[in-house]
Chain A
């Protein structure tokens, strides 16, 4: 019971993130449809962002928006660094997704299918 309590109640963000990561990576690797693979990529990246953000969150504290004047109470703020990392990560993830979608579009034009197995089975044309 202790194990379950620790894993799923105390660390529910981390547990959810790992479950989502599993779903994402399996979707990415196992699904035959290219679009579903890209959805898997999105889930995988989002799960890591959830994990990261939850590392910076401290309960009952607010976002790190420092007032222009007046005293600054650092103990009222959450850790801002993981948030910054997540923003960078989202940028990276968006560009990868865009690239993957563009490539999928081109593949569909050349092969007429989104099924990766069918694409592998077709002759590549080695010119």
Chain B
């Protein structure tokens, strides 16, 4: 592996150090933006190098010791094909979001806030990387909190009445979530005596084999899942999401929906696979609950999206539905379900970021959030309109786009798992139909003739934003066509995740 061994720690420390140095540039937001972009470019390069070496690495994964104490009591990082693949996705999406939303940041944020905004984005990148690579549950807790504060900040930074209201709701629910998570960590520590995930797994397997601590282990698992579900906007806990995503400035909505939620899912996957061990999880009977919540979320999110007049809230409710897909895939209790879910994590990151960025540009052009008053906006903004259409097609599950692949493989996983097959098919069908209805309703309005007296302008995009939109569109199509290698990498990654 050679130098690639050091890449995970580089991926965490580069954005952390950048975030700290960016604070010095409070008076020069433009430079801060460029530094952030360059830093994310570096992250993409490093993570690609790491991913390529891990895809071709027979051992599957490696651990990296942080500091002078070796595991199990020292702090460790662990990287395999799965982690490395997601580590490529996160900074790439972040890079494109920052590239595509300069106008929104300039419009929504006061000048002395813009640099701090980029500090927060760098912190989110750092903590996503840490959540991806850490092998230590307490480190995971610390970075979950870093994510929480940074995510709340990028909502509140617009500082009008709606965002402050949304942030306080988001913050209090997140605090409940992290409280439950920390309680679970401390209980698990008192049961197993470890914080390092692989060692916890060894102890848990012994305890389950000998039938001890059955009930406390289930309690900790439930605490973990509920804590992360509150932060990850699983259906009954989603109430904060539409407010926060709908009212925040466009790049924040995109980052929250495409990336922050995925960080929590990443750590949940590692808790299930690496800490408890997937066979133990199957025996504990907790996955059917996730399955039902996921299914309910898929339908409920889509139905609520149907009634939204505000374009951003519509896209936000669609996120609730899409998060439901991911939990449903996990709930199938089969390896294939997890692979499909993780593909959906990637597909949703690419698509929802595109949808939010496009929605933001369209809203700016139309001067209104109301879909009914946006008639004709896509005619005057051809590239943005096309981008929104691509995102909508992907979310509705049309072949050749990213969203189709994950839905197809979710259905396939249900067949392989022999688990509620008909229900999965029905729910996938209904949800895709509802997605199609509300997205196409919006698209038809955007492409129809202007209302009398409506002031629809052309949102003049800079070259950077144009490049971002083109890259987003290409990424969505590429994820929909060349999915084979990526799925194989994820499958191989799941083999060594536990």
Using a CB–CB cutoff of 8 Å, the interface residues on chain A facing chain B are: 21, 24-25, 28-29, 34, 37, 41, 44-45, 48, 51-52, 55, 81-82, 85, 88-89, 92, 95-96, 99-100, 103-104, 106-107, 110-111, 116, 119-120, 122-127
Contact = CB atoms under 8 A, between A and B. Distances in A.
A99 B179 CA distance: 16
Leading 6 A-B pairs by shortest Cβ distance:
A124-B162, A125-B161, A55-B190, A52-B186, A92-B145, A44-B179
B186 A48 contact: yes
5 contacts: A28-B179, A45-B179, A48-B182, A107-B164, A119-B165
B304 to A, nearest CB: 17
B164 A96 contact: no
B471 interface: no
A34 B152 contact: no
B398 interface: no
Nearest to B148: A96
B141 to A, nearest CB: 8
Nearest to B174: A96
A122 B162 CA distance: 10
Contact of A122 (B160, B161, B176): B161
A38 to B, nearest CB: 9
A21 B179 CA distance: 9
A28 B173 CA distance: 9
A123 B496 CA distance: 51
A34 B156 CA distance: 16
Given A96-B145, A96-B149, A116 B168 contact: yes
Contact of A111 (B161, B172, B179, B195): B161
B164 A28 contact: no
Nearest to B370: A126
B161 A124 contact: yes
B142 interface: yes
Nearest to A24: B179
A99 B162 contact: no
Interface in B140-186: 141-142, 145, 148-149, 152-153, 156, 159-162, 164-168, 171-172, 175-176, 178-179, 182-183, 186
Contact of A21 (B160, B183, B310): B183
Given A103-B156, A126-B247, 7 more contacts: A45-B179, A48-B179, A51-B186, A51-B187, A52-B186, A106-B156, A111-B161
B175 A28 contact: yes
Contacts of B282: none
Contacts of A85: 138, 186, 189, 195
Interface of B: 73, 138, 141-142, 145, 148-149, 152-153, 156, 159-162, 164-168, 171-172, 175-176, 178-179, 182-183, 186-187, 189-190, 195, 247, 310, 369
A110 B161 contact: yes
B144 to A, nearest CB: 9
A33 B164 CA distance: 16
Contact of B175 (A41, A48, A51): A41
B182 A34 contact: no
B176 A29 contact: yes
Contacts of A124: 161-162, 165-166, 247
B149 A48 contact: no
A46 to B, nearest CB: 11
Contacts of A34: 168
A95 B161 contact: no
Given A51-B186, A88-B138, A127 B160 contact: yes
Contacts of A99: 149, 152-153, 171
Contact of B176 (A28, A52, A120, A127): A28
Contact of B168 (A44, A88, A96, A119): A119
A124 B164 CA distance: 9
B244 to A, nearest CB: 12
A95 B147 CA distance: 12
B452 to A, nearest CB: 24
Contacts of B369: 126
Contacts of B168: 34, 100, 103-104, 107, 116, 119
A88 B149 contact: no
B176 A25 contact: yes
B189 A52 contact: yes
A8 B149 CA distance: 36
Contacts of B153: 99
Contacts of A107: 164-165, 168
Contact of B142 (A48, A51, A88, A120): A88
A28 B149 CA distance: 17
A88 B168 CA distance: 24
A116 B171 CA distance: 13
